Amino acid sequence: YAGVSETDGSQKTWSWTVPDGVTSIHVLCIGAGGAGGAVSNWGGGGGGGGALAWKNNITVTPGETLTVKSGWPTTSKMSGNKWGATGGAAEVLRSSTVLVKANGGSGGHYGSPGYYGTGGTVGVGDGGGAGGR
């Protein structure tokens, strides 16, 4: 799936059809990191890292279609200020039910090197971990 992630707030979504003979899958999602804050005389805080979430042994039916959404990276700043934007979540869904989700990290603060973004969290999954600060 080359090219499924796009920069600056454009989440890429596609469908995946379960192959014949497959009745169980394992899923790993990694959320995108947040953007750093704009630089001033004091520097800018770095963006938080995206979370990692996983789930094993998800029961599926051959021919079933799942929705996959990529976590999108960002270098943009939030509207109206110079704080970094939050990175996008990565997730896999069955219809509207989220099977696995890893949230993106928050953006860093403008002009405050000590106020970096927080790491993304596990939204849905059996395990994984938060992104770094």
- Residue 64: how many other CB atoms lie within 10 Å: 13
- The pLDDT assigned to 5 comes to 44
Please give the Cα distance from 119 to 106 (Å, whole number): 6
Q: What is the mean pLDDT of each run of 10 residues along the chain (133 residues)?
A: 51 89 96 81 78 96 94 68 82 96 87 74 90 83
- The pLDDT assigned to 70 comes to 85
Q: How far is CA 125 from CA 17, 20, 26, 29, 67, in A?
A: 21, 25, 11, 9, 16
Classify the C-alpha dihedral 95-52-87-110 as positive or negative: positive
- The pLDDT assigned to 130 comes to 86
Residue with tokens 């499924």: 4
- The pLDDT assigned to 93 comes to 96
Of 33, 12, 47, 56, nearest to 103 by C-alpha is 33
